[in-house]
């Protein structure tokens, strides 16, 4: 049962990583990167690394997304690729 | 065919680690926008952390906290029942370093945008060549 959840989360991780680097909107890329970080945090909680999981949930998915959104609002939102 | 699926499924974390690391490296090299390059760098760092956590994981093991450690008598601890906590501690430091590098990189991007009014790498290089 646990390996099925792990397989689904691994697939979602790869899909969100690919989407974050291909989407044309930088704000959307920042939010997709936050989703990627949170899926990675769930994966580590399943693998038993709970301390790494809650550090990633607060620092990786929280503060990184806030920093990205703040930087995108201070600069431009459009991109060519 | 059955052997191939067995090989792919038993070490699935490591294959995904290679895939994520190559996605991050591709974004750092090929993408033209500077924010996309930073997202690629973060994906690469997270892939390395996934590799280290996968080293420490064990089947049928629990989190590394010894039960009844303060009770009377001595207990022999079997290491096969607990997940290896050493990679976890190393990767806690790596997460903090990743956030620090992200902050410095985004501050440099804001200064670049104030000076050149763009985030595309080729436009910045063209403006540098014209000066």
Between the CA of residue B102 and those of A10, B35, B85, what are the distances in Å? 24, 10, 26
Round the average pLDDT of chain B to a whole number and report it: 89
Extents of the domains making up chain A: 2-74
Domain spans of chain B, in order of start: 2-61+79-130
| Residues in contact with B70: Cβ distance below 8 Å, sequence separation at least 6, in sequence order | none
Q: What is the pLDDT of residue A12?
A: 95
Q: CA of B70 to nearest chain A CA: how many angstroms apart?
A: 22
Q: What pLDDT shows up at residue B24?
A: 96
What confidence tens digit (pLDDT) does each residue in A22-39 have?
Answer: 999 999 999 999 999 999
In chain A, what percentage of residues exceed pLDDT 90?
Answer: 79
Measured between CA atoms, the residue of chain B closest to residue A32 is B39
Chain B CB contacts of A81 below 8 Å:
31-33, 36
Which residue among A10, A17, A67 sits closest to B102, beta carbon to beta carbon?
A: A67
In degrees and rounded to multiples of 5, residue B57 shows phi and psi of -75, 145
In order along its 131 residues, chain B shows pLDDT tens digits of 788 888 777 788 899 999 999 999 999 999 999 999 999 999 999 999 999 999 988 888 888 887 776 666 666 778 888 899 999 999 999 999 999 999 999 999 999 999 999 999 999 999 999 98
A20 to B39: CB separation less than 8 angstroms, yes or no: yes
CATH annotation of B2-61+79-130: 1.10.287.3510
Question: What interface predicted TM-score (ipTM) does this complex get?
Answer: 0.93
**CA–CA distances in Å: residue B87 to residues A46, B7, B16, B42, B61:** 16, 24, 18, 19, 15
- The string of pLDDT tens digits covering residues B64-75 is 887 776 666 666
Judge contact between B46 and A60, C-beta under 8 A.
yes
Cβ separation A44–B46 shorter than 8 A: no
What's chain B's length in residues? 131
Contacts of A38 in chain B (CB under 8 A): none
* DSSP percent split of chain B into helix, strand, coil, nearest 5: 75, 5, 25
- Closest residue in chain B to residue A48, using alpha carbons only: B63
CB pair distance less than 8 Å for A64 and B42: yes
Q: DSSP label at A79?
A: -
């Amino acid at each position: 049962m646990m390996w099925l959840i792990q397989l689904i989360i691994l697939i979602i991780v790869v899909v969100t990583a690919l989407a974050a680097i291909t989407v044309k909107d930088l704000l959307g890329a920042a939010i997709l990167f936050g989703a990627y970080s949170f899926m990675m945090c769930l994966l580590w909680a399943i693998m038993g690394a709970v301390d790494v999981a809650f550090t990633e949930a607060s620092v990786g998915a929280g503060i990184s997304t806030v920093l990205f959104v703040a930087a995108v609002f201070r600069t431009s939102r459009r991109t060519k690729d | 065919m059955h052997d191939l699926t067995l090989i792919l499924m038993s070490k699935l974390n490591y294959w995904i680690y290679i895939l994520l690391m190559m996605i991050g490296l591709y974004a750092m090299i090929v993408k033209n926008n500077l924010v996309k390059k930073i997202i690629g760098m973060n994906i690469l760092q997270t892939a390395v952390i996934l590799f280290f956590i996968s080293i420490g994981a064990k089947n049928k093991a629990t989190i590394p906290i010894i039960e009844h450690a303060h009770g009377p008598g001595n207990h022999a601890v079997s290491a096969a029942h607990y997940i290896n906590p050493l990679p976890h501690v190393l990767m806690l430091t790596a997460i903090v370093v990743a956030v620090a590098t992200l902050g410095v990189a985004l501050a440099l991007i804001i200064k670049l945008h104030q000076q050149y009014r763009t985030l595309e790498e080729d436009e910045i290089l063209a403006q540098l060549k014209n000066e």
